[in-house]
């Protein structure tokens, strides 16, 4: 089974039931890609800061539900072991993440993903946030398009024959 991102809190009891519900058989293989910590993830850090009602708002804590729920490798390994997985491996990946050909293209893409962050803002703060986003996107535009540094963990594991 291959997943991009794990959309549930990675705790031992739900892991087995969720994966069983997706048809992961005993000895089945889990492969997923999850975000590393906020610091190396310029894409999340800078875009969130531009769109946030409070630009000084901290990133969600590591391990809490959200984009960094599985950012701690030791926690991920412990939870997967408790859920009956073996051969657990996490490989760090770093690469530019492409958001569009130019700032205008990236602006539409980002608002499609994260535009909900503007919902609670008054008109003035919304306009400021959109200006901040344009400035951020312009700063990351190059011949390759609009790119931000990103870092993820590639998690691979195998379910024991019987859980």
> Using N-to-C axis directions, what is the helix angle for 73-82 and 12-21, rounded to 10°?
70
Rounded Cα distance, 90 and 74, in Å: 10
The pLDDT > 90 percentage for the chain reads: 49
pLDDT digits (tens, 9 = 90+) for 39-87: 999 988 899 888 886 666 666 777 777 788 889 999 889 888 888 889 9
Angle CA(82)–CA(86)–CA(91) in degrees, nearest 5? 105
Closest to 153 in 3D by CA, of 42, 35, 54:
35
pTM, two decimals, is 0.78
How would residue 110 be classed by pLDDT, with cut points 50, 70 and 90? Answer: very high
> Using N-to-C axis directions, what is the helix angle for 42-51 and 123-139, rounded to 10°?
150
Q: What is the CATH number of domain 2-159?
A: 3.40.50.150
Stretch 13-24: mean pLDDT, rounded?
55
Stretch 17-32: mean pLDDT, rounded?
71
Closest to 163 in 3D by CA, of 37, 47, 20, 1:
20
């Amino acid at each position: 089974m291959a997943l991009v991102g794990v959309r549930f809190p990675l705790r031992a009891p739900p892991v087995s039931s969720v994966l069983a519900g997706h048809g992961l058989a005993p000895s089945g293989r889990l492969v997923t890609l999850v975000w590393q910590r906020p610091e190396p993830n310029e894409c999340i850090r800078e875009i969130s800061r531009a769109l946030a009602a409070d630009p000084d708002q901290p990133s969600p804590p590591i391990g809490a539900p959200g984009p960094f729920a599985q950012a701690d490798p030791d926690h991920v390994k412990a939870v997967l072991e408790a859920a009956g997985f073996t051969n657990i491996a996490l490989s760090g990946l770093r690469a530019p993440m492409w958001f569009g050909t130019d700032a205008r293209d990236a602006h539409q893409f980002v608002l499609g993903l994260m535009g909900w962050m503007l919902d609670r803002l008054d008109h003035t703060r919304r306009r400021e946030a959109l200006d901040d986003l344009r400035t951020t996107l312009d700063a990351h535009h190059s011949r390759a398009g609009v790119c931000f540094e990103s870092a993820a963990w590639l998690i691979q594991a195998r379910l024991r024959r019987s859980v």
